[in-house]
Amino acid sequence: MTTTRNLLLRSTLFHTPIHCSINSHFTTNSHTLDSMFTRLLSSSSSKFIHKNPNSPFNFRPIFPLISSLNSPITVFAMAGKDQTFTTSTSGQQSDQNKHTNRLASEHSPYLLQHAHNPVNWYPWGEEAFEQARKRDVPIFLSIGYSTCHWCHVMEVESFEDDGVAKLLNDWFVSIKVDREERPDVDKVYMTYVQALYGGGGWPLSVFLSPDLKPLMGGTYFPRDDKYGRPGFKTVLRKVKEAWESKKDVLVKSGTFAIEQLSEALSASAISDKLSVGLAQSALLECTKALAQSYDPKFGGFGSAPKFPRPSEPQSMIYQSKKLEESGKTGEAEEYLKMVSFSLQCMARGGVHDHVGGGFHRYSVDECWHVPHFEKMLYDQGQLANVYLDVFSITKDVFYSCVARDILDYLRRDMIGPNGEIFSAEDADSAESENSKKKKEGAFYVWSNSEVDDIVGDHATQFKEHYYVKKSGNCDLSQMSDPHNEFEGKNVLIERNSASVMASKFGMPLENYHEILGLSRKKLFDARSKRPRPHLDDKVIVSWNGLAISSFARASKILKNEPDGTKFNFPVAGTNPEDYMEVAKRALSFIKENLYDQQSQRLQHSFRNGPSKAPGFLDDYAFLIFGLLDVYEYGGEISWLSWAVELQETQDEVFLDKTGGGYFNTTGEDESVLLRVKEDHDGAEPSGNSVSAMNLARLASMFTGARSDRYKQNAEHLLAVFEKRLKEAPVAVPLMCCAADMLAVPSKKQVVLVGKKASPEMEHMLVSVHASYDPNKTVIHIDPNEDEEIGFWEEKNPNVAAMAKNNVVAEKAVALVCRDFACKAPVTDPRSLEALLLKGKA
């Protein structure tokens, strides 16, 4: 018999992809839900229901049915889009005079979207829990985020409906949670749904006991029964009946599920470091698996829907560098080609916003054409870094321009007045000012006649370049628009290179690029008059950390663009040094608004004030990662000092000092039932993967007991996930890189000595970052700055000594070292570049 623990290990430590637009809904027409839980936790049966051929949806079964149930549970995932699902722009306003609930006093944009539903929503907290205990009724927990399309759909269909609201208000205590504000709560119940049902997504809909144990759950439920399947109202009735007749068994089942999840997800290491050779073999097997999943026609790794999972190309680039260093240039070039072609296809596809810059969440088809249109900050920061990496290797300005495109989009549309970087833009918006409905992609798509009217004289060239057609262009794949949602509309995509098209039209390439840029600017100005998608102006520390990293790195890497490089809209042609100022302003906002100097702890997010949620592991790890990049790419010593301080807090609050690795939460909130050690590198990297990288970098920067402690914590962390690295390394590509970084026998440091604000130091910083080398640590020190000398005397006396012994008037000195044993100093930036490229450290 399959034990629950084995079930969880098989289906939870796994990480099935979850996202907003592939939504599963779990429904039951059985009044014996206790049988469901009892049999589910012990059964390995796997009979499946097939899709209804009369349904317009593509249903994918993801839940093993329990064959002995009289009325089987059915669970489906819904893929694709349906043009009938539009969301209201006026319903919320019209309801404001009729209904106001407790969410009206919250700060989260997502919670405020539901503040005038007839549902008597509570925020997550003791008031709601006490009410459920007092009434002895289940809790209905709904989790989503403000830019989630299907969350909007379920709100319009169910939560704005007076009939559904009455059922919820009479039979349940209803709680609404913003997953971006409370990822810890979301993690508990998403893990439960994934473990028991095999998949998940948002909106997440879970029924809980008053003591917060999960009873059953799913994601999107339609309001009414359809296609022979129960809708949300039926589910509510069945849960109520089960609670009244089988409450004790339901609660016992939920308690058991949480106990087993807790055991499975809080793994401890059996050793204090990885087995010999595993670090290298894990990276090798990970990148081999990615290479096997590579799409040579359209780029990317895997099939549609295609997500730009940045840790995948990052690991391929890292392995390419290793192969090159070991003399396997053919394999190295092949891996790099896979990444570079994928990045080209993404940048030319509709998943890239050609008019306004930045990238949408993912592509629903295999050719990166029709996207799910929301824009997330965590994508922008990570993708900018991948494009910067490939530019630093190839020196092809195609990649640097795409990095600029992303960063300029963030500067223009996603940064607040005090330097804070906002979270996301919605996929849905009104088609016109007078429209009462929102529709996905309305802000971004174009009709043929709109392009003619707006672009004018160059419309013919522009339309051919971007595949604009009168009938609409979402016809490149059967998956692009299966329900004709975008009939007559065009999602811009480049099917041929600019050089090919310029030749076809008989004009110089530079002139052709200029025409395209001017045309995009015209469309941008016209688009700016459309109703904008909702902006989630919440500031999340972890996501800011990812963006801060890319802004800091761009400030030096982009200075290696050839002189005279031309930029066209939406690329602004910014002085790269301005990007560093963006990074510093974002850091200053976080330090001033989300950091307690006395306790040295972070808060998770900010909107009209700090959130109630404390900082989570990802907030510390991603922010430290950004701080290290700000320092290494030229920032002040104060940023490095803060990174060290935050690492100490992270170790104190999140580190499992006995079992190794980091928990995702502090464990101080009793309402959060699971404390998890995450490893999966998905749309965002895991906090443990990033922490392993941070520790490897810090260990290379310092010496003595401090360096040893960082290294030991990193080794112990990796040992926690040895099974994963051995059996499924492709699930943790960034952790594979971190493991290899830590296993490098001697660490390379480049120490720059000179006056910080001088042109000479700036030229050295540009040169040291001119080539891609993830195993290089950059330290810069001004021997005339007492704060810097004091910092290094305490934490690495070698650096302080180098500063005092290598002062050259009007020059910056570079020392290339291995474990701080250094070669002869150089004072010429070109000599430093040559030394680093030849690997003569």
> Strands across the sheet with 776-781, in order?
776-781, 748-753, 813-818, 821-822
Using DSSP, state whether 275 is helix, strand or coil.
Answer: coil
Average the pLDDT over each of 218-232, 574-588, 799-813 and give the range with the smallest value: 218-232
Is the pLDDT score of 51 beyond 90?
no
* Cβ within 8 Å of residue 188, ≥6 positions away: 258, 672, 673, 674
So what's the pLDDT on residue 97? 55
In 10 A of CB 500, how many CB atoms? 11
Q: What is the DSSP letter of 441?
A: T
In 10 A of CB 226, how many CB atoms? 12
Query: Are β-strands 74-79 and 23-27 bridged in parallel, bridged antiparallel, or unpaired?
Result: antiparallel
The mean pLDDT of 310-335, rounded to a whole number, is 97
Q: How confident is the model at residue 20 (pLDDT cuts 50, 70, 90)?
A: low
Percent of the chain with pLDDT over 90: 84
- Kindly list the distances between the CA atom of residue 496 and the CA atoms of 221, 239, 501, 680, in Å, as whole numbers in the listed order: 42, 55, 7, 36
So what's the pLDDT on residue 88? 55
For the stretch 97-128, pLDDT in tens is 589 999 999 999 999 999 999 999 999 999 99
In 10 A of CB 644, how many CB atoms? 18
Is the pLDDT score of 258 beyond 70?
yes
Q: What is the DSSP letter of 102?
A: G
Whether the Cβ atoms of residue 88 and residue 437 lie closer than 8 Å to each other: yes
So what's the pLDDT on residue 92? 43
The mean pLDDT of 270-293, rounded to a whole number, is 96
Closest by Cα among 373, 410, 404, 356 to 523: 356
Whole-number Å distance between alpha carbons of 815 and 812: 10
Residue type, 362: Y
So what's the pLDDT on residue 87? 59
The first and second tokens of residue 505, run together, are 């039209």
Is the pLDDT score of 184 beyond 50?
yes
Using DSSP, state whether 362 is helix, strand or coil.
Answer: strand
Residues facing 431 on adjacent strands: none
Backbone angles phi, psi at 419, to 5 degrees: 95, -5
Mean pLDDT (the chain, rounded): 89
Q: How confident is the model at residue 698 (pLDDT cuts 50, 70, 90)?
A: very high
For the stretch 298-309, pLDDT in tens is 999 999 999 999
Closest by Cα among 740, 810, 816, 833 to 777: 816
Is the pLDDT score of 379 beyond 60?
yes
Average the pLDDT over each of 81-95, 241-255, 602-616 and give the range with the smallest value: 81-95
For the stretch 494-547, pLDDT in tens is 999 999 999 999 999 999 999 999 999 999 999 999 999 999 999 999 999 999
So what's the pLDDT on residue 618? 98
Whole-number Å distance between alpha carbons of 812 and 824: 14
Dmax of the chain from CA atoms? 87
The first and second tokens of residue 674, run together, are 């699971």
Whether the Cβ atoms of residue 74 and residue 197 lie closer than 8 Å to each other: no
Please report how many Cα atoms fall inside a 13 Å half-sphere around the Cα of residue 787, on the Cβ side.
7
- The rounded radius of gyration (Å) of the Cα atoms in the chain is 27
Is the pLDDT score of 632 beyond 80?
yes
Distance linking the first and last C-alpha atoms of the chain: 58
Whole-number Å distance between alpha carbons of 575 and 633: 15
Is the pLDDT score of 83 beyond 70?
no
Whether the Cβ atoms of residue 638 and residue 690 lie closer than 8 Å to each other: no
So what's the pLDDT on residue 74? 30
So what's the pLDDT on residue 228? 75
The mean pLDDT of 159-182, rounded to a whole number, is 97
Whole-number Å distance between alpha carbons of 235 and 28: 7
Place of tokens 């209905």: 140
Average the pLDDT over each of 119-123, 254-258, 582-586 and give the range with the smallest value: 254-258
Closest by Cα among 142, 70, 145, 153 to 109: 145
Is the pLDDT score of 623 beyond 90?
yes
The first and second tokens of residue 448, run together, are 């043929």
Q: For residues 40 and 740, which has the higher predicted lDDT (pLDDT)? A: 740
The mean pLDDT of 247-253, rounded to a whole number, is 93
Q: Does residue 305 have a cis peptide bond before it, meaning omega lies within 30 degrees of 0?
A: yes
So what's the pLDDT on residue 233? 96
Q: How confident is the model at residue 198 (pLDDT cuts 50, 70, 90)?
A: confident
Whole-number Å distance between alpha carbons of 603 and 609: 10
Whether the Cβ atoms of residue 135 and residue 204 lie closer than 8 Å to each other: no
Backbone angles phi, psi at 507, to 5 degrees: -135, 155
The first and second tokens of residue 86, run together, are 């539009």
Q: What is the DSSP letter of 490?
A: B
Whole-number Å distance between alpha carbons of 636 and 634: 7
Q: What is the distance, to the nearest Å, from the Cα of residue 15 to the centroid of all Cα atoms in its chain?
A: 14
DSSP string, 27-48: E---S-HHHHHHHHTT----B-
Closest by Cα among 679, 711, 681 to 696: 711
Whole-number Å distance between alpha carbons of 555 and 561: 11
Q: How confident is the model at residue 839 (pLDDT cuts 50, 70, 90)?
A: low
Whether the Cβ atoms of residue 320 and residue 288 lie closer than 8 Å to each other: no
Using DSSP, state whether 79 is helix, strand or coil.
Answer: strand
Is the pLDDT score of 677 beyond 90?
yes
Q: How confident is the model at residue 600 (pLDDT cuts 50, 70, 90)?
A: very high
Length of the chain: 841
The first and second tokens of residue 805, run together, are 């012994």
The mean pLDDT of 750-758, rounded to a whole number, is 96
So what's the pLDDT on residue 265? 82
pTM (two decimals): 0.90
- Kindly list the distances between the CA atom of residue 240 and the CA atoms of 174, 252, 257, 811, 829, in Å, as whole numbers in the listed order: 13, 17, 20, 77, 72
Q: For residues 17 and 492, which has the higher predicted lDDT (pLDDT)? A: 492
Average the pLDDT over each of 46-55, 335-344, 358-367 and give the range with the smallest value: 46-55
* Cβ within 8 Å of residue 667, ≥6 positions away: 675
The mean pLDDT of 645-659, rounded to a whole number, is 97
Is the pLDDT score of 81 beyond 80?
no
The first and second tokens of residue 154, run together, are 């379920």
Whole-number Å distance between alpha carbons of 475 and 477: 6
Please report how many Cα atoms fall inside a 13 Å half-sphere around the Cα of residue 509, on the Cβ side.
6
Whether the Cβ atoms of residue 827 and residue 812 lie closer than 8 Å to each other: yes
Is the pLDDT score of 186 beyond 50?
yes
Whole-number Å distance between alpha carbons of 325 and 743: 16
The mean pLDDT of 603-624, rounded to a whole number, is 97
Whole-number Å distance between alpha carbons of 326 and 551: 32
Percent of the chain with pLDDT over 70: 88
Is the pLDDT score of 699 beyond 70?
yes
Backbone angles phi, psi at 467, to 5 degrees: 55, 45
Which burial class, exposed, middle or buried, applies to 508 when counting CB atoms under 10 A from its CB (0-12, 13-18, 19+)? exposed
In 10 A of CB 112, how many CB atoms? 17
